[in-house]
Amino acid sequence: MPERNEVSWTAMISGFFRGGRVKESMWYFERNPFQNVVSWTAAINGFVQNGLNLDAMKLFRRMLVSDVRPNDVTFTSVVRASADLRDFVLGMNVLGLIVKFGFEQNISVCNSLITLSLRLSEIDCAQRIFDRMETKDVVSWTAILDMYVEMGNLKEARQIFEDMPERNEVSWSAMIARYSQSGNAEEAVELFRQMVQDCYDPNRSCFASIISALANLKALQAGMNIHGHVTKIGLEKDVFISSSLIDLYSTCGETEDARLVFNLISEKNVVCWNSMVSGYSKNGQLEKAKEVFDLIPNKNKVSWNTMIAGYLENEQWDKVFEVFNQMLLFGEMPNKSTFSSILCACATMASLEKGKNLHGKSFKLGLQNDVFVGTALTDMYAKSGDIMSSKKVFSKMPEKNEISWTAMIQGLAENGFAEESLILFEEMEKTNSSLVPNELILSAVLFACSHCGLVDKGLWYFNSMEKVYGVKPNTRHYTCLVDMLSRSGRLSEAEKCIETMPWKPDYNTWAALLGGCFTYKDERIANRAAMKLWEMGEDSEEKSGGYVLLSNIYASAGRWVDVLNTRKLMKEKGLKKSSGCSWVEVRNQIHHFYSQDGNHNQSEEIFDGIFGKTRVDVECGCKIKKNGHMCMMAVAGTTGHMDKYKAEADSIYKTANNILDKSDKLSNCPAA
């Protein structure tokens, strides 16, 4: 039996810490007869490694009191603990001690101080420490490189990377990771190629990053090559790499391969569990996702958020709220991601009451200043028809990105404030030179032009898309344009526009034209548009709108034979008229209305309950029975937002009447 000395005691301490066995570790620490700097530091660092930063600080205090002189390693650990605690005052106190004990020129200590400053967003401080260092090593350079990336300045970071006196795998890996995280997947791949060419050995972090970048690019084959290589060098069971691989395979639709990777991981952590849940839900396999989710031994926020996002993406809104409630019951605090998802569900359902409630909750949790939450709120209020609140939230947002602007611009346009929406767009252009209008904003702008009849302005925007904004018009933009021309009766122009499209128009584009033909009763163009829709013959249920529209046009012209033929064709193609659906929330319960089968089983009760109070509502009530979408009007009435709708009420009533007329005509049709 070898003799136990100071070294073996310290080895016991750090060994147990490494295995996460804090109690055993401290048992040995307290009984160590040879307590010295090294054993103290081993224990402090052990706490830090296990995320127990407060305990680390407490132990550090005990160490100072017992007159043991800390060394550079101690300080590096303690600084990291303050960084992880995000505690600036603590960090500054530690800095005082560092100076007092004379370690302010120690490279490792300075490196960790730079990281500390970065975590606390003290950019100047980080820069000062870096500049004052007499000697710098790769770590210092990598840390400062990371600073520029954190500031969102990838260009500057790249410059530093190029200028660094020396590089190691970590610097390469950091640069690649950052490119990958900020959506520059191609650049990440390019850098990886260079790295391999320059004979650096990629480490596990690097593999994790590059696989993640390849997943973003949906580059399955390249990813599989890397997977092969990783397996060859025996890293295939690494959790980091495996999590990325799971993401890669499921993003490319190969959930079974993802599952194989998942099954191989010997020590699964939360992240890889979460990746698997996300993988299944990305591919619409919600049952499997839920199955895996239920098995996660130590769920964290991300697990819950992933499950919520899964249901959201697959439009199972009731489940979204169910899981959210379970999350709260479980005692997990929702964060910004949770709120942005759940508010998105409220927006889609136009569920104003729930949305308001969540607005309050997010405020309580201090999340109201987050871009994601603010944007989601703006969108939710706009989609629920409460445009005033939407504007209020938007104007109070301290930070806005292009998605926030898009939500507001689109929201105004959709709520009938198209002119204001265009003014806002112009304001954005003037005041935010850094925000480059993207294709989403531009399609919102075209939508606005289309809806306030500003055809020429719309045409101008469309024509300057590529020249001024450098955005190539996509099918959606063309559809907006066609819609705009069709709505204003410029049907032949609209038709010409479709014909000159650089690629094959999509179903919606023709449908937009057909819609215009219906309004302006142009049978000739309608016939041509219909023929095209015919030829495209897309046999999916949701694409049946065109046929319905066509049969309506025939119906309005009294061409019953054609109506019958259209319907027969739909039947042959197995198309069902997709039912329009609307819903209304009463006492926290969601009730659906389908325009096809007409009656909700409790319709009468609900109408009496909510619409019985005001005249306007009663008026709506009867129409709702035939057209579910009128519901929202009525809801606006009961929630006190009716006045905002008054201007539009007429046109909506007209539309509703049109629809009712159509269905009446159809039912008049002799053989229907």
Partner DNA sequence: GACTCTTAAT
Query: Closest CB to DNA among 141 and 645?
Result: 141
How many amino acids of this chain bind DNA (CB under 7 A)? 75
**What are the two backbone dihedrals, phi and then psi, of residue 626, each rounded to the nearest 5 degrees?**
-100, -30
> Which stretches within 296-333 are classed as H helix?
301-313, 317-330
Binding region for DNA (CB under 7 A) out of 266-274, 445-453, 462-470, 524-532: 266-274
Q: Which of residues 327-346 bind DNA (CB under 7 A)?
A: 335-337, 340-341, 344
Smallest gap from Cβ 272 to DNA, in A, equals: 6
Binding mask 73-112 for DNA (x = CB under 7 A): x--xx--x-------------------------xxx--xx
Tell me the C-alpha to C-alpha distance, in Å, between residue 668 and each of 247, 350, 627, 654, 665.
55, 35, 18, 20, 5
CB 26 within 8 A of CB 55: no
Query: What is the rounded radius of gyration, in angstroms, for the C-alpha atoms of the chain?
Result: 31
Smallest gap from Cβ 365 to DNA, in A, equals: 13
- Does residue 442 bind DNA (CB under 7 A)? no
Smallest gap from Cβ 20 to DNA, in A, equals: 15
Instruction: Burial-class residue 20 by CB neighbours within 10 Å (0-12, 13-18, 19+).
Output: exposed
CB 284 within 8 A of CB 254: no
Query: Closest CB to DNA among 403 and 570?
Result: 403
Amino acid identity, position 580: G
Amino acid identity, position 472: K
Structure tokens at 361: 């909750």
| Interface pick for DNA out of 35, 53, 212, 552 (rule CB under 7 A) | 212
| Interface pick for DNA out of 44, 78, 206, 448 (rule CB under 7 A) | 206
- In terms of Cα–Cα distance, which of 457, 496, 451, 456 is closest to 478? 496
Counting every residue, how long is the chain? 672
Smallest gap from Cβ 268 to DNA, in A, equals: 10
Smallest gap from Cβ 290 to DNA, in A, equals: 15
- Does residue 624 bind DNA (CB under 7 A)? no
- For residue 593, the SS3 value is strand
Binding mask 158-197 for DNA (x = CB under 7 A): ----------xxxx-xx--xx-xx----------------
Q: Which of residues 401-430 bind DNA (CB under 7 A)?
A: 401, 403-404, 407
Query: From CA 438, how far away is CA 468, in angstroms rounded?
Result: 11
Binding region for DNA (CB under 7 A) out of 70-78, 91-99, 445-453, 487-495: 70-78
Query: Closest CB to DNA among 111 and 486?
Result: 111
CB 409 within 8 A of CB 424: yes
Amino acid identity, position 226: I
Smallest gap from Cβ 251 to DNA, in A, equals: 8
- In terms of Cα–Cα distance, which of 606, 604, 583 is closest to 593? 583
Query: Closest CB to DNA among 306 and 384?
Result: 306
**What are the two backbone dihedrals, phi and then psi, of residue 590, each rounded to the nearest 5 degrees?**
-95, 130
- Does residue 316 bind DNA (CB under 7 A)? no
Binding mask 366-395 for DNA (x = CB under 7 A): ----xxx--xx--x----------------
Query: Closest CB to DNA among 340 and 486?
Result: 340
Smallest gap from Cβ 369 to DNA, in A, equals: 13
Query: From CA 414, how far away is CA 380, in angstroms rounded?
Result: 13
- Does residue 497 bind DNA (CB under 7 A)? no
